[in-house]
Amino acid sequence: MPVVAQNLLFSGWPPLLRVVVVGGLTYVVLVVLLRVSGKRTLSKLNAFDFIVTVALGSTLASALLSQGVLLTQAATALALLIGFQLAVAWLSVRLPWFRRAVRSEPTLLVRDGRLLEESLAGQRVAPEEIRQAVRSTGYGGLDQIAAVVLETDGTLSVISRSNAGSGNALPGHVQGAGG
């Protein structure tokens, strides 16, 4: 086997041992940091939460596979990302202007069985996606639906007419959605 092919498949035990040791220790550090930071750190409530989740995964991968990344550097990077996440969450709860700056609002896409074309276009959601969400919740027609909401995490919430209540949970407190 040529040397180049051999180095691509196996270059000795020390690099593998490093992956096992650094991977195990980094994993422990990440679990401890996540337990300390709370459930919110890995939630999918908004784009910032998603970014932190992806960045944590990328940092963990870099620590595992890049020999130039020390365990202390990886742990510091993980702690920094989680610290930023905690700071954004803390400020969002306490400062309304900050919350508006970093968080999106849910968007009403269907009201009383009618597609809201302007909202659909603004959020880049196709009518077929709405119909699929309605079908996946067990309904056969938009006439059975009081509202479909594009949530801040990108999911579609489908509210049937029979479950709409007063409609005060809908974006903009839309009244009359129940009926």
Nearest alpha carbon to residue 145 among 123, 172, 167: 167
- Cα three-residue angle 109-113-118, rounded to 5 degrees: 30
Domain-terminating residue out of 67, 101, 135? 101
| Confidence band of 12 (pLDDT split at 50, 70, 90) | confident
Measured CA to CA, the distance from residue 165 to residue 82 in angstroms comes to: 38
Enclosing H/E stretch for 149: strand 145-150
CATH of the domain at 134: 3.30.240.20
Q: Return the biggest CA–CA distance within the chain.
A: 74
Mark whether 16 and 94 lie in a shared domain: yes
Mark whether 62 and 147 lie in a shared domain: no
Q: Give the torsion sign (CA, 152, 157, 161, 166).
A: negative
What's the average model confidence in pLDDT over 13-35?
90
Domain-terminating residue out of 86, 101, 116? 101
What's the average model confidence in pLDDT over 84-89?
90
pTM of full prediction above 0.75: no
Give yes or no for a contact between 108 and 157, defined as CB atoms under 8 angstroms apart. Answer: no
Per DSSP, the residues of 68-134 read T--HHHHHHHHHHHHHHHHHHHHHHHH-HHHHHHH-PPPEEEEETTEE-HHHHHHHT--HHHHHHHH
User: Does residue 16 fall inside a structural domain?
Assistant: yes
Mark whether 167 and 150 lie in a shared domain: yes
Distance set, CA 140 to CA 113, 130, 134, 167 (Å): 12, 12, 7, 22
Residues making up the chain, counted from first to last = 179
Considering only residues 142 and 3, tell me which one the structure prediction assigns the higher pLDDT.
142
Measured CA to CA, the distance from residue 152 to residue 154 in angstroms comes to: 5
User: Does residue 179 fall inside a structural domain?
Assistant: no
Domain-terminating residue out of 66, 101, 136? 101
The count of structural domains within the chain is: 2
User: Does residue 65 fall inside a structural domain?
Assistant: yes
What's the average model confidence in pLDDT over 145-173?
90
Mark whether 127 and 42 lie in a shared domain: no
**Three-state DSSP class for 60?**
helix
**Three-state DSSP class for 29?**
helix
> What percentage of the chain exceeds 70 in pLDDT?
91
What is the residue range of 64's domain? 3-101
* pLDDT computed for residue 5 by the predictor: 58
Q: In the predicted model, is pLDDT for residue 81 greater than 90?
A: yes
